[in-house]
Chains A and B, each alone.
Chain A
Amino acid sequence: MDGTRTRAQAGPALGYLFVFVPGLLLVAGREFGADWLVVAAIFVVFPLLRVVFADVPGSAPVWTEGWARVLHSLPRAYAIFLGALTAWVAWVLGHGQRPAGIEAVLFGISWWLVNSLATCVAHELLHRPECGDRVLGRWLAALAGYPILGHEHLAHHAHPGDTARAEYARVGESLWRYVARRTPMAWIHAIEWDSAESARRANRWRPGGLKVAVAITLGTWAVFAAVGGGVGFVLYGAQIVGVHFLVQLITYLQHWGLGDDTLAEAVDKEYAWEDTCQLQAWLVMGLSLHQSHHLRPSLAYYRVAPMQTSPRPPMSYAWLMLVALVPALWRIAMLPALDYWKRSPGRPLSPGRRLHCFGLYSKA
Chain B
Amino acid sequence: MRNLESIVAAPSFFNDVNEVAQAIHDAEDEPRAIQLLKKGLDAIGAEAGIFASFVRDDCSHESYRFFVACDPEWCLKYRRQTWFANDPALIYAAGASEPCRVSELKISSAGQRALMADAARHGFVSGCVFPAPSAGGNSRRGVLVAGSSQPGFYECYGFAKVRLAGRTLALELHEWWRRLLRRELLEEAQLTHEDLELLRLHQLGMGSKEIAALLRTTPASVDSRFQRLIARLGTPTRKAAARVAADLGII
Contacts and interface: CB of A to CB of B under 8 A. Distances in A.
Interface of A: 1-2, 60, 62-65, 68-69, 71-72, 127, 131, 134, 154-155, 157-159, 192-193, 195-200, 202, 296-300, 303
Interface stretch (B19-27, B105-113, B117-125, B145-153): B105-113
Contacts of B238: 65
B60 A200 contact: no
Interface of B: 57, 59-62, 80, 82, 85-86, 88, 91, 94, 108-109, 111-112, 220, 223-224, 226-228, 230-231, 234, 236-238
A75 to B, nearest CB: 11
Nearest to B223: A2
A63 B228 CA distance: 8
Given A2-B223, A155-B82, A158-B85, A196 B109 contact: yes
Given A1-B220, A1-B224, A65 B230 contact: yes
A199 B234 contact: no
A158 B82 contact: yes
A65 B94 contact: no
Contacts of B62: 296-298
B82 A200 contact: no
Closest 3 CB pairs of A and B: A196-B86, A72-B236, A158-B82
B109 A69 contact: no
Given A158-B61, A199-B91, A68 B230 contact: yes
8 contacts: A63-B227, A65-B230, A69-B236, A134-B59, A158-B60, A198-B109, A199-B111, A200-B94
A66 to B, nearest CB: 9
B129 to A, nearest CB: 15
A297 B236 contact: no
Contacts of B228: 62
A198 B61 CA distance: 16
A205 to B, nearest CB: 15
A65 B59 CA distance: 27
For B223, B230, B236, the residue with the greatest tally of chain A CB atoms inside 10 Å of its CB is: B236
A62 B85 CA distance: 34
Contact of A154 (B59, B91, B94, B237): B59
A198 B59 CA distance: 12
B231 A300 contact: no
Nearest to A195: B109
Contacts of A127: 60
A300 B234 CA distance: 7
B227 A298 contact: no
B60 A297 contact: yes
B227 A62 contact: yes
A193 B57 contact: no
A127 B88 CA distance: 24
A195 B86 contact: yes
Interface of A is mostly: helix
Contacts of A63: 227, 231
Given A72-B236, A195-B111, A200-B94, A65 B82 contact: no
Nearest to A192: B111
Nearest to B110: A195
A57 to B, nearest CB: 13
A85 B231 CA distance: 33
Contacts of B111: 192, 195-196, 199
Contacts of B230: 65, 68
B109 A199 contact: yes
B112 A299 contact: no
Contact of B237 (A65, A195, A198): A65
Contacts of B223: 2, 64-65
A297 B234 CA distance: 11
A298 to B, nearest CB: 6
B91 A200 contact: yes
Contacts of B94: 200
B231 to A, nearest CB: 4
Given A158-B61, A196-B86, A303-B231, 18 more contacts: A1-B224, A2-B223, A62-B228, A63-B227, A65-B223, A127-B60, A155-B82, A157-B60, A159-B82, A195-B111, A197-B59, A197-B85, A200-B91, A298-B62, A298-B234, A299-B234, A300-B234, A303-B234
Nearest to A157: B60
A200 B231 contact: no
A299 B224 CA distance: 21
A64 B86 CA distance: 40
Contact of B224 (A2, A72, A134, A196): A2
Nearest to B55: A129
Contacts of B237: 65, 68-69, 72
A60 B231 CA distance: 9
Nearest to A70: B236
B57 A298 contact: no
A30 to B, nearest CB: 35
For A1, A69, A199, the residue with the greatest tally of chain B CB atoms inside 10 Å of its CB is: A199
B77 to A, nearest CB: 13
Contacts of B234: 296, 298-300, 303
Contacts of B109: 195-196, 198-199
